[in-house]
Amino acid sequence: MKKILLATDGSNSSVEAGRQVRSFLTAFPEAQLLVVYVIAPMAYSFDTGTILPDIERHEREAVEEARESFVQVFADDPRVRFFTSRGVPANVICDLADKEQVDLIVVGSHGKGSVQRALLGSVSQAVVRHATVPVLVVRGQRNNDASAS
């Protein structure tokens, strides 16, 4: 395994996914890891001009949260690169996996603040469905995500 893509949104599941990936990095010393947080487009039906600063602040906070949760897991491992991208998360993740020719995509089973408990979150579900490489879905700890099944 040479290249792994970890998609993180700072949720408990994605932190758990990060821990799993860390053990892969130990097992595969030559492996590279890309960690991506995707800033999703927001749909507003009203004039965004008035609330643009709020949107920007919210985006900055979300990026920082994702980055912090990742730094906690990987410290400053030089094989790991964190970056952000904009777009529809599942599309960005799958496109990136193709472009970067990764061997494995790793996602959490659920994301931040999901209220009702589907088997998989919408992003992980779409990634599993559309990815052209294997996808590892990692469950978060029970009771620790926004809601437990």
Please give the residue ranges that form the binding site for ligand ADP (CB under 6 A): 7-9, 11, 13-14, 17, 36-38, 40, 89, 107-108, 110-112, 114, 121-124
| CB of residue 81 to Mg ion, shortest distance in Å | 23
Size of the site for Mg ion (CB under 5 A): 1
Which residue shows structure tokens 């800033």?
39
140: contact with Mg ion by CB under 5 A: no
Pairing, β 32-39 against β 3-7 = parallel
111: contact with Mg ion by CB under 5 A: yes
SS3 for 142? Answer: coil
10: contact with Mg ion by CB under 5 A: no
| CB of residue 26 to ligand ADP, shortest distance in Å | 20
The closest of 134, 130, 145, 147 to 90, measured between CA atoms, is 130
37 is in the binding site of which of ligand ADP, Mg ion, none (Cβ under 5 to 8 A by kind)?
Answer: ligand ADP
Q: How far apart are CA 93 and CA 40, in angstroms?
A: 12
Rounded to 10 degrees, the C-alpha dihedral 85/90/94/96 comes to: 0
Residues that bind Mg ion (CB under 5 A): 111
